[in-house]
Amino acid sequence: MNVQRFSISDAKLAKSPGQNAEIYVRNLVDENHGGSITIGYGRYEPGQSLAETLAVDDTMIILEGSLSVSTSDGTVTAGPGDIVYMPKGQSVTITTQGDGALTAYVTYPHWPQFHND
Amino acid sequence: MNVQRFSISDAKLAKSPGQNAEIYVRNLVDENHGGSITIGYGRYEPGQSLAETLAVDDTMIILEGSLSVSTSDGTVTAGPGDIVYMPKGQSVTITTQGDGALTAYVTYPHWPQFHND
């Protein structure tokens, strides 16, 4: 794969299989592209809550809006330009208020949950 | 390592050793944190040019401003919210005009060039 530029307008966001919240994602780079990481965009509508245990190391970069990530240690809230690093094995609850959030994500290794085929 | 939130205001940016352009970076997560990826922020002043061959898979998310990435295949220009994926082994020249650029980056595996110790 060569150098690639992606924009949110290129990404056809959709719910992940089995995921019922109003959270829409799209992988742009994944296991089909020869590397070790998954890259994509996610849009979280307002008032959503998603609980999961991380199967991979997941880095979210907040592009618009804000979201909160809660663990047994407490809650962090992140806004535009902030980075949230969620290591593999952590149990998190991601919540949105207000305007929801637009994120970019990078996971290592690939996250099978985010198949969009 | 637990879930972490980072903001650009937390990052003490500095030139990488041996790098003379007006490009300032800071790792926030690296080989000292037990994972497989490096996460950080980078600020590129206007009118800079940096040529390198990627030693790792490098993902840049443009937070402010814009930058261009040139390879033997051509040039892509990325602005706020855009993602540029630069696979390991690619030879790139990153250039800025205008206001320069603020980026977040995630590399796999760790990028030794970005030690800030």
Measure the CA–CA gap between A14 and B103, rounded to whole angstroms.
Answer: 26
Give the tokens for residue B27.
Answer: 């790792």
Measure the CA–CA gap between A15 and B11, rounded to whole angstroms.
Answer: 34
Report pLDDT for A33. 82
The distance of A94 to chain B (nearest Cα, Å) reads 12
Burial label, B54 (beta-carbon count in 10 A; 0-12, 13-18, 19+): middle
C-alpha angle A49-A87-A62 in degrees, rounded to nearest 5? 55
Measure the CA–CA gap between A63 and A22, rounded to whole angstroms.
Answer: 18
Beta bridge partners of A68: A77, A95
Q: In this model, does residue B1 exceed pLDDT 80? A: no
Q: In this model, does residue B30 exceed pLDDT 90? A: no
State how far the alpha carbon of B96 is from the alpha carbons of A50, A106, B69, B88, B102, in Å.
38, 24, 9, 22, 11
Report pLDDT for B94. 97
Task: Quickly count helices (H) and strands (E) in chain A.
Answer: 0, 10
In chain A (117 residues long), the average pLDDT of successive 10-residue segments reads 93 87 92 88 96 94 98 96 96 95 94 53
Residue pair B24/B15 in contact (Cβ under 8 Å)? The answer is: yes
Q: How many CA atoms lie within 13 A of B91 on its CB side?
A: 2
Give the tokens for residue A116.
Answer: 């969009």
Give the tokens for residue B38.
Answer: 């490096």
Q: In this model, does residue B117 exceed pLDDT 70? A: no
Q: Which residues of B touch A34 (CB under 8 A)?
A: 87
Q: In this model, does residue B61 exceed pLDDT 80? A: yes
Poorest-pLDDT segment among B33-42, B61-70, B80-89: B33-42
> Cβ separation of A3 and B57 shorter than 8 Å?
no
Q: In this model, does residue B116 exceed pLDDT 80? A: no
Q: In this model, does residue B22 exceed pLDDT 60? A: yes
* Minimal Cβ distance to A7: which of B5, B69, B81: B81
Q: Which of B29, B67, B83, B84 to mutate to test the interface with A (most CBs of A within 10 A)?
A: B83
Measure the CA–CA gap between A31 and A114, rounded to whole angstroms.
Answer: 11
Report pLDDT for A113. 56
Reported pTM: 0.92
List, for residues B74-103, the tens digit of each pLDDT value: 999 999 999 999 999 999 999 998 999 999
Measure the CA–CA gap between B89 and B99, rounded to whole angstroms.
Answer: 29
Report pLDDT for B113. 56
**% of chain B exceeding 90 in pLDDT:** 78
Q: In this model, does residue B73 exceed pLDDT 90? A: yes
Mean pLDDT of all residues in B51-58: 93
Question: So what's the ipTM on this one?
Answer: 0.91
Check CB contact of A77 with chain B, cutoff 8 Å.
yes
Measure the CA–CA gap between B42 and B27, rounded to whole angstroms.
Answer: 9
